[in-house]
């Protein structure tokens, strides 16, 4: 079962000349006019589907850099004569969210960075980017702190792992009103600290549990050592989760001890790790939450175009696709339509369904980013562990 | 399903059902029933661990009220009688799985109904018959599911007669004392499963001999069948599901609290399927400011807001 992308409403689409074109048509353009034009204006300028990106300053060339698949990813800006204002108009469909940077060239020297006119910034483990929130995009309110939502608690858990030959560092989320006498479903999150730091997952959990959208759940935020080794189908990682971490949790926390009470989640390589652990332990997990999984495969030959890091992924995925088997009863799968991984993710849905899994597949007009994964969390979390909302009536 | 057979028809006092009480009108309702200042018993087990946070509710009764604390008393039973608690947990697990499987079956019928309805028919008559057959299948699945749920409960109560459990016995006596001088019982909303479970465990129905004012889950618990519904769930509309048997004080009725918020009332096709599926029971729409005074015998009055068979919002008088 899949959810289609939102259509652009007929109403609310502005008509007439774009602001930048009106500006260009003025007779006297100087720096004062630019000041007036930019005064209290949000950049990029969003007018329906048209997004006007701007840069103000001296440069030989300015380029807009983004990672929307199948689109030119380095788009030149044009300078408006008589000013130091540069612009380019890009059309973005309703509800899009796009991360970007600007590249400036001066005297043969090139630098790239965030848009100085745009305060919207997204952070990730590899740095930050500017964000263009196109017409129709709204930051979901459940990603923001809600003073009415009673907060859960995060505790550190350091666990030595024989399987991984290192100490593992995890954080355990205990929901508000946690009681040792209850039995909670368990969710293990790959790249746990990144989900906490860049996807506001603690806030999201507090809110979706408070709103009764998600069941009260014990969530373990696990963290990789050597991520590129441990996540793409690595037996010691699976052994660590199943033979070390889960037994430890079952001994010390009131977690359910049955498959429907165990779930794994992750994004990108973390999604591959989730799937491969479930594949190696086919009756252990009831649900998987897979975001923008790096499920790269080849139908013929070995040339997958992803570089050596993807070799073990492609080997695993090709083997899986040759003989698919059920990895969990319920899968929530999401992917951004602007990322190259959209094709493998779409392709995997019927494969998982053919094994008898129930798949909820959701696309978004977004890229391979932590805010995309944040914005899909309520859908995913409420799908794998639905809250008691259907039982509660005011 | 109740632990003991309850003489439902003997409840002769009034039953008043209300819509959600975000802007409370309970005090005005009590006044209109000439129960202002009357001794009230409060059953807010549906609030679970927030059961003691009843200050606002108490203030609406002029402070002359006792909270029966059914949720906390239920926890006391589980703590005092671990064997009984384990059996109850096992029962809940079975019921949960049954409910999950039942919903999977319903989802498929709903998909089939949608596909059939959206198909361009060569014969409208043939299409109508096929849709009717699929709806009949849905009703049969509902009936069979409720029968199975009742079997699980009956089997549990037979193997674990609650009146033979010391902790239940003692607490039932305390609850009876609390209820003895009550002149009105208030049952607010909350978790309908927990509320119905507590009402059955402590065999409250036969003791409800005074006027009752209920809303939300409280209203649902008083009907014959509790139906779960949410067309605006986080992950999209979910199929409505028969959950369990209520106390049966309100007859031939499925209570739908907060209908405008929770149901896609603007979709008559969807609402029509719901109304016809649950017929002959009427889908009672309990929105904010709605008040329904149940007739003696447990039937709905003519002005009760209900869903017509075509999914339109109307009153019972209009659809008779």
All structural domains of chain A with their residue ranges: 19-133, 141-391
Q: pLDDT at residue A12 above 70?
A: no
**Span A315-325, average pLDDT:** 97
What pLDDT does residue A1 have? Answer: 59
Helical (H) or strand (E) element with B101: helix B82-118
CA angle, residues A125, A130, A135, in degrees to nearest 5: 125
Q: Is residue B145 part of a domain?
A: no
Contact predicate B166/B81, CB 8 Å: yes
Q: pLDDT at residue A147 above 60?
A: yes
Q: pLDDT at residue B9 above 60?
A: no
- Domains of chain B: total: 1
A148 touches chain B (CB under 8 A): no
**Pairwise CA distance, residues A320 & A322, whole Å:** 5
Burial B26-45 (b: 16+ CB within 10 A, else e): beebbeebebeebbbbbbbb
Q: Report A:353-372 residues touching B (Cβ under 8 A).
A: 360
DSSP calls for A35-97: HHHHTT--SSEEETTEEEEEEES--SEEEEEE--TTS-SEEE-EEPTTSSEEEEEEE--TT-E
Contact assignment for B258 to A360 by CB distance below 8 Å = no
Of A389, A276, A274, the residue nearest A333 (C-alpha)? A274
A200-249: pLDDT as tens digits: 999 999 999 999 999 999 999 999 999 999 999 999 999 999 999 999 99
Tokens of B216: 């939300």
B169-210: pLDDT as tens digits: 999 999 999 999 999 999 999 999 999 999 999 999 999 999
A184-199: pLDDT as tens digits: 999 999 999 999 999 9
**Span B130-146, average pLDDT:** 96
One fold for both A19-133 and A141-391? no
DSSP-derived 3-state class of residue B123: coil
Q: β-strand A358-364 against B184-187: which pairing, if any? A: unpaired
Phi/psi at A104 (nearest 5 deg)?
-110, 135
Three-state SS letters, B259-297: HHHHCCCCCHHHHHHHHHHHCCCEEEEECCCCEEECCCC
Q: β-strand A186-189 against A166-174: which pairing, if any? A: unpaired
What pLDDT does residue B7 have? Answer: 47
Contacting residues for B188 by C-beta, under 8 A, at least 6 apart: B21, B42, B44, B46, B47, B57, B214, B215, B216, B217, B218
A78-97: pLDDT as tens digits: 999 999 999 999 999 999 99
Q: Quick one: A19-133 is in which CATH superfamily?
A: Immunoglobulins (2.60.40.10)
Write down the mean pLDDT value for chain B: 94
Q: How far is A212 from chain B (nearest CA, A)?
A: 10
Kindly list the residues from chain A whose CB atom is less than 8 angstroms away from the CB atom of residue B21.
394
Q: Helices (H), strands (E): how many in chain B?
A: 11, 13
**Pairwise CA distance, residues A131 & A121, whole Å:** 6
Tokens of A261: 């009470």
Contact predicate A291/A376, CB 8 Å: yes
Q: How far is B1 from chain A (nearest CA, A)?
A: 17
ipTM over 0.90: yes
B194: nearest CA in chain A?
Answer: A391
User: Which domain does B207 fall in, by range?
Assistant: 8-78+161-319
Contacting residues for A383 by C-beta, under 8 A, at least 6 apart: A287, A289, A330, A332, A360, B235
- How large a percentage of chain A has pLDDT more than 90? 91
Kindly list the residues from chain A whose CB atom is less than 8 angstroms away from the CB atom of residue B220.
393
Tokens of A44: 């990029």
Alpha carbon of A322 to those of A6, A298, A318, A326: distances in Å? 34, 11, 6, 13
CB atoms under 10 Å from CB of A109, counted, come to 8
CATH topology classification for A141-391? Rossmann fold (3.40.50)
What pLDDT does residue A3 have? Answer: 62
What number of C-beta contacts closer than 8 Å exist between A and B? 56
**Pairwise CA distance, residues A150 & B49, whole Å:** 14
Contact assignment for A379 to B234 by CB distance below 8 Å = yes
**Pairwise CA distance, residues A351 & B261, whole Å:** 37
What CATH number did the domain enclosing B45 receive?
3.40.50.880
B69-124: pLDDT as tens digits: 999 999 999 999 999 999 999 999 999 999 999 999 999 999 999 999 999 999 99
Angle, in degrees to the nearest 10, between helices A342-354 and A311-322: 30
What pLDDT does residue A306 have? Answer: 85
**Pairwise CA distance, residues B269 & B289, whole Å:** 26
Contact predicate B76/B167, CB 8 Å: yes
What pLDDT does residue B5 have? Answer: 63
Contacting residues for A148 by C-beta, under 8 A, at least 6 apart: A210
Contact predicate B218/B228, CB 8 Å: no
Q: pLDDT at residue A297 above 80?
A: yes
Burial A307-327 (b: 16+ CB within 10 A, else e): eeebebbbbbbeebbeebeeb
Of B294, B240, B302, B298, the residue nearest B267 (C-alpha)? B240
- Per-residue pLDDT band at A13 (split at 50, 70, 90): low
Contact predicate A318/A358, CB 8 Å: no
B49: nearest CA in chain A?
Answer: A177
What pLDDT does residue A7 have? Answer: 73
Indicate the residue of A382, A392, A394 with minimum beta-carbon distance to B234: A382
Indicate the residue of A360, A390, A393 with minimum beta-carbon distance to B216: A393
A302 touches chain B (CB under 8 A): no
Cα B309 to chain center, whole Å? 21
DSSP-derived 3-state class of residue A188: strand
């Amino acid at each position: 079962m899949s959810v289609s992308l939102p259509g652009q409403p007929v109403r609310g689409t502005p008509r007439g000349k774009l602001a930048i074109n009106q500006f260009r048509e003025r007779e006297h353009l100087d720096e004062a006019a630019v000041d007036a034009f930019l005064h209290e204006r949000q950049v990029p300028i969003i007018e329906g589907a048209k997004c006007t990106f701007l840069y103000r300053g001296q440069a030989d060339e300015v380029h807009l850099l983004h990672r929307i698949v199948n689109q030119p990813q380095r788009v030149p800006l044009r300078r408006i004569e008589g000013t130091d204002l540069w612009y380019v108009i890009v059309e973005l469909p309703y509800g899009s969210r796009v991360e970007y940077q600007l590249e400036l060239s001066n005297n043969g020297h090139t630098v790239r960075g965030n848009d100085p006119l745009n305060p919207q910034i997204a952070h990730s483990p590899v740095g930050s980017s500017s964000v263009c929130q196109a017409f129709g995009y709204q930051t979901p309110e459940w990603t923001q702190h809600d003073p009415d939502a009673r907060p859960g608690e995060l505790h550190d858990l350091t666990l030595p792992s024989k399987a991984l030959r290192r100490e593992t560092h995890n954080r355990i989320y205990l929901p508000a009103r946690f009681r040792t006498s209850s039995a909670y479903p368990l969710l293990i999150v790959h790249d746990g600290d990144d989900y906490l730091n860049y996807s506001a997952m603690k806030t999201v959990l507090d809110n979706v549990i408070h709103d009764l959208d998600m069941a009260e759940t014990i969530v373990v935020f696990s963290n990789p050592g050597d991520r590129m080794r441990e996540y793409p189908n690595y037996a010691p990682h699976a052994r660590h989760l199943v033979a070390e971490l889960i037994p430890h949790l079952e001994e010390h926390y009131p977690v359910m001890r049955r498959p429907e009470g165990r779930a794994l989640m992750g994004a990108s390589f973390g999604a591959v790790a989730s799937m491969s652990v479930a594949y190696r332990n086919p009756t252990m997990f009831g649900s998987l939450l897979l975001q923008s999984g790096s499920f790269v495969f080849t139908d013929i030959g070995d040339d997958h175009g992803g570089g050596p890091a993807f070799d073990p992924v492609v080997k695993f995925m090709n083997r899986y696709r040759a003989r698919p088997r059920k990895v969990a009863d319920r899968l929530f799968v999401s992917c951004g339509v602007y990322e190259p991984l959209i094709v493998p993710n779409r392709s995997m849905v019927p494969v998982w369904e053919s094994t008898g899994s129930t798949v909820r597949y959701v696309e978004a007009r977004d890229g391979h980013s932590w805010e995309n994964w944040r914005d899909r969390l309520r859908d995913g979390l409420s799908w794998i562990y639905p809250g008691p909302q259907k039982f509660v009536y005011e | 399903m109740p632990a003991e057979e309850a003489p439902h028809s003997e409840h002769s006092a009034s039953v008043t059902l209300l819509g959600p009480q975000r802007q409370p009108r309970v005090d005005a309702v009590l006044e209109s029933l000439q129960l202002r200042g009357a001794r009230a018993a409060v059953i807010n087990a549906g609030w679970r661990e927030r059961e003691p946070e009843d200050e606002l509710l108490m203030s609406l009764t002029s402070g002359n009220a006792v909270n029966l604390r059914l949720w906390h008393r239920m926890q006391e039973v589980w703590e005092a009688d671990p064997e009984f608690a384990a059996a109850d947990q096992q029962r809940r697990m079975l019921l949960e799985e049954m409910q999950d499987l039942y919903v999977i079956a319903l989802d498929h019928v709903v998909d089939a109904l949608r596909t059939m309805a959206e198909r361009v028919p060569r014969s409208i008559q043939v299409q109508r018959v096929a849709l009717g057959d699929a709806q009949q299948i849905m009703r049969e699945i509902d009936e069979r599911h409720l029968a199975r749920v009742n079997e699980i409960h009956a089997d549990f109560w037979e193997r674990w007669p609650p009146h033979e459990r010391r902790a239940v016995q003692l607490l039932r006596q305390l609850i009876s004392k609390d209820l003895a001088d009550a002149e009105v019982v208030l049952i607010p909303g909350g978790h309908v499963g927990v509320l119905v479970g507590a009402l059955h465990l402590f065999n409250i129905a036969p003791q409800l001999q005074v006027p009752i004012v209920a809303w939300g889950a409280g209203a649902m618990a008083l009907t014959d069948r509790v139906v779960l519904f949410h067309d605006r769930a986080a992950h999209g509309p979910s199929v409505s599901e028969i959950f369990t048997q209520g106390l049966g004080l309100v007859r031939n009725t499925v209570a739908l609290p907060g209908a405008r918020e929770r149901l896609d009332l603007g979709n008559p096709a969807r609402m029509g399927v719901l109304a016809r599926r649950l017929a002959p029971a009427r889908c009672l729409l309990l929105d904010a400011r709605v008040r329904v005074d149940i007739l003696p015998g447990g039937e709905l009055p003519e002005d009760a807001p209900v869903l017509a068979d075509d999914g339109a919002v109307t009153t019972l008088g209009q659809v008779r």
